Structure formats: structure tokens, C-alpha cells
Amino acid sequence: MAKKDTKLENLSKTVHMLIEEIRLSQTEGLDRIFMDVYSQQADMMTDSRQQGKVKHAFRDILGIVFFGVLAGNDEWEDIYDFAMDERETLRNYLDLKNGIPSHDTMQRVFAIIQPDELQGMLKEILVQMIEMAGQHLDQYLYQNEELDCYVRDVIAADGKETRHTAKKHAKVPEDLCNLNEFNVMSTEWGVCLSCTRINEKTNEIPEMQAVMKRLDCRKCIVTADGMNAQKETARVIVQEAHGD
């Protein structure tokens, strides 16, 4: 069996269960709203290919892989087969002027994508879709009209250290330590809004503040452990994330 591509595996883990409730809902136009958000974010990605030799739009390749991964495919050949089978449906959302690119083309394009840019794009898509879904579906986890209290989501932030992941003879300093990640979850939708590798536990504090700045925390409860009980973190949630 061919060795799986690392970037593709990471993409699959991030978006495989992307807001199942949205897909199942009957909210009119939500798929088009999603594509507008996707197109905006995809156009901000760096395309370092020689444009004179380009046959397939960068946005189309990203979109094919994105949808392919959401459909449960984690091999380039499987994504290509998926795109060929669903090419008429994909044309409703992507240009595909020169048809479906080969699996080799998709793999080569992903080989030159900056991981930070890809992660950032996915974060923004997930965050914006969660916010839009809450606004369109108008559903609340808890509501009390007398107290004028409405809660539509619980956003949980926490850092995790994976034991025994350090490499004793690694040349990169960060690989000498166990893997530390900082995760921010939408518990109502079951979606990870942000997953970032951090060098050590104390880096949770600035990372949480950075993630909160990108969220809309109105009508949300934000949970975190004692490490993030910081005045600056509270200020960011209230003033920049519009928390109550």
C-alpha cells in the first residue's frame, strides 16, 4: 500500500466531520453561503505555480480535495475517482474549465501549499460557517426569556500534551519535546474550530487570545482551565469577540 500523504491526512482529520447538522438541514442557500466563504479564503492562498503552465484553477483543486476528504476519501486516487463520479455536482460549485485534474496534479499542488496557510483557511471556513449556521438556524442550547438569556453554543478551549511523542535525537528543537496542541471546540456542532501545535503549555495563553479574536462569542459560553484565567484573555473575549 502506498504511503499516505501527511498533508492530506492532516486535512482529513480537520474537515472529515465538517458540520454534519448543516449538511442535513434544509436551510435555503446555506451551501452557497459556504461556497462564498470558501472562495474568499481560497483566493487568499499563495499559488506559487508557473501561471503560464497552469491548466486547473488553484481554487478548483482545493475544492475537489476539500469535498473529497469530506466524503471520506484519504488517498489521492480515491479523491480523483470521487471527483470523476461527482463531476456534474462539483460543476455547480467549481468552474472546472479543463475538467478534473489528475491525482498526480492534485498531489503536486498540495506539496507546495504552505501548511500554515491551509490551516488558517480551514479555521476561517469553520469559524464563519459555525457563526452563520447559528444565525440561520436560530437554535439555542438554553434560553430564558425572563432573564433575557440565550446560549447558542459552548466553546471549549484546552491544551493537550501527547506523552512519549518526543524524539530523543531530533534535529529540530520542538521535536525534542512531547507534542503539545491547543484545541478550541464548538461543542454544539462537534467541530474543532482551531488546532494548533504549541511549544509548551505556557504558550496556551497567547494562542487562546489569538483564537478568541477570530470568534464571535455573542450568546456563547467559553470554558477553559485555570491557566487561561487571565485578565487579558477575558478582555479579548468581551471586547474583541463580542462576548457578554
Q: Is residue 13 part of a domain?
A: yes
Instruction: Using the predicted structure, report yes or no on whether residue 143 has a pLDDT greater than 60.
Output: yes
Cell numbers for 33: 453561503
Mark whether 156 and 233 lie in a shared domain. Answer: yes
Q: Is residue 33 part of a domain?
A: yes
Mark whether 124 and 204 lie in a shared domain. Answer: no
Query: DSSP states of 14-34 as a string?
Result: HHTTTTHHHHHS--TTHHHHH
Asked which of 131, 158, 187 is the last residue of a domain, the reply is 131
Q: Is residue 199 part of a domain?
A: yes
Q: Is residue 1 part of a domain?
A: no
Q: Picking from 51-55, 61-65, 116-120, which range would have the lowest pLDDT averaged per residue?
A: 116-120
Percentage above 90 pLDDT, the chain: 25
Q: Which domain holds residue 114?
A: 6-131
**What pLDDT band is residue 156 in, cutting at 50, 70 and 90?**
very high
Q: How many domains does the chain have?
A: 2
pLDDT in tens, 204-220: 899 899 989 888 888 88
Mark whether 16 and 113 lie in a shared domain. Answer: yes
Q: What is the predicted pLDDT for the residue at 29?
A: 57
Mark whether 178 and 212 lie in a shared domain. Answer: yes
pLDDT (average), residues 65-87: 90
Q: Are 205 and 157 in contact (CB under 8 A)?
A: no
Asked which of 131, 151, 178 is the last residue of a domain, the reply is 131
Cell numbers for 134: 447559528
Q: What is the predicted pLDDT for the residue at 19?
A: 46
- How far, in Å, CA of 160 to CA of 59, rounded? 33
Q: What is the predicted pLDDT for the residue at 222?
A: 94
Please report how many Cα atoms fall inside a 13 Å half-sphere around the Cα of residue 223, on the Cβ side: 8
